Chains A and B, each alone.
Chain A
């Protein structure tokens, strides 16, 4: 993980149902912006963990996943088999991935309530071990017995 400073470029991407979704729709609380591809093995393993993270943290955080350079039917087929409860957007031509300087999948940016990057994780991550602190919106380690 590392701290990442300047604001990331805004975007409008379609979700898997064809609806246009702007990044600013997630402003107001901590949001995890997760870049992935269904063809990437660690990505496939990480999405369910993000789903569980959202289940615990829905009051304090949002998750949005961005499929990079994949055709719609492939992503839909994957989600039919492994459904998630957060929006999945389609960066079909890598424009957003490139503007955010993503070179590794999976990569997750954690933005604060004002869309400022707090952290970036350029690898798969054990999301079952973190929560979002309600007061600050920051990630904290879970006390797992």
Chain B
């Protein structure tokens, strides 16, 4: 069935709304590295250090470092951050999403601007028993509005609504809708080499161009947008991988103590009785693309195993920065960020390229503090 879908024209798939659950009925093969089954267990404590240096600073120079600012009693506890710097720094929060960051400003003549931010967090794995809705705290009206609303990169009308309607067709409950959208995203977010051209960064253009093989922020934003269009509160959770996967998935963990490039966005959908349910269709695609020997098919046992688990569970070898969209950096006159998951900096009021190692150097390290 999976192979047949992949042979259809991409736009035909979008029109037909082919949202199928392939999990049931496939053979249960054991994954070589052991069963992938995150369960809430002992808390793990980590210390995260972010060091940022600005080369070629000119005039007014400032930077913003995202810090873990999510606190959920079942799986993540974020402590206040400490820092050392030759500038002037303070902790700030985005007013809409309470996204935490450290904002630092340096004097115009400051040579070699630098800051080092240290944050401690505690995390443990999550697994929601989807068959047993309980008394999860209800969303407030304000939260419901926030997590159903559109953002700059996540419109919820037009082609997004049309795609969502097709994806959830036949689903009778919110849980079925949430899962149908998850399966649709897993099925359709692969890079088709025949599709040339790119979107402009939002999920509508992703759907219009058929260029569906984006990064985690693109794929999980697509999940969030389709869910919101279906009336399900949903949110991106922007964060960072901080440790290897204990289940042996090389693609789903940090490969070393240096995690400067280990940013990872996940998503959650709110379901009555269950609360915020963790999902991560982007990681299913990452397993398919990168888990050795790489370029696995959608019915490879490793992919199947990840797909089963990543609707309702997360291995939390990962910290959560925030849920924020359309972030205005305090003190900046530059454009808002679609999301805040990387350190940001400006010099002479020009936003620097956070992917340019020559001029914008930052290192993020992770150290586990959990007692053995």
Contact = CB atoms under 8 A, between A and B. Distances in A.
B197 A42 contact: yes
Interface string A34-45: 010101111100
B2 interface: no
A126 interface: no
Contacts of A35: 200
Given A92-B334, A93-B336, A94-B152, A103 B200 contact: yes
A128 B274 CA distance: 59
Interface residues of A, number: 27
Contacts, number: 67
A136 to B, nearest CB: 29
A6 interface: no
Contact of B353 (A69, A73, A94, A105): A73
Interface string A90-129: 0011100110001111100000000000000011100000
Contact of A105 (B152, B200, B334, B355): B200
A72 B335 contact: no
Nearest to A93: B335
B209 interface: yes
A73 B199 contact: no
B197 A105 contact: yes
A110 B335 CA distance: 28
Contacts of A41: 196, 198
B152 A104 contact: no
A56 interface: no
B250 interface: no
Nearest to A105: B198
A124 B198 contact: no
B209 A103 contact: yes
Contact of A72 (B199, B202, B351): B351
A77 B336 CA distance: 22
Interface of A: prevailing SS = loop
B350 A69 contact: no
B198 A37 contact: yes
A104 B359 contact: no
Given A92-B334, A92-B335, A73 B356 contact: yes
Contacts of B152: 94
B201 A94 contact: yes
A103 B199 contact: yes
A61 interface: no
A42 B356 contact: no
Contacts of A88: none
B351 A71 contact: yes
A106 B204 CA distance: 16
Interface string B195-219: 0111111101100110000000000
Interface string B302-343: 000000000000000000000000000000001110000000
B352 interface: yes
7 contacts: A73-B353, A77-B353, A92-B334, A94-B202, A103-B204, A104-B209, A123-B196
Given A71-B350, A74-B353, A123-B196, 5 more contacts: A71-B352, A74-B355, A93-B336, A104-B205, A104-B209
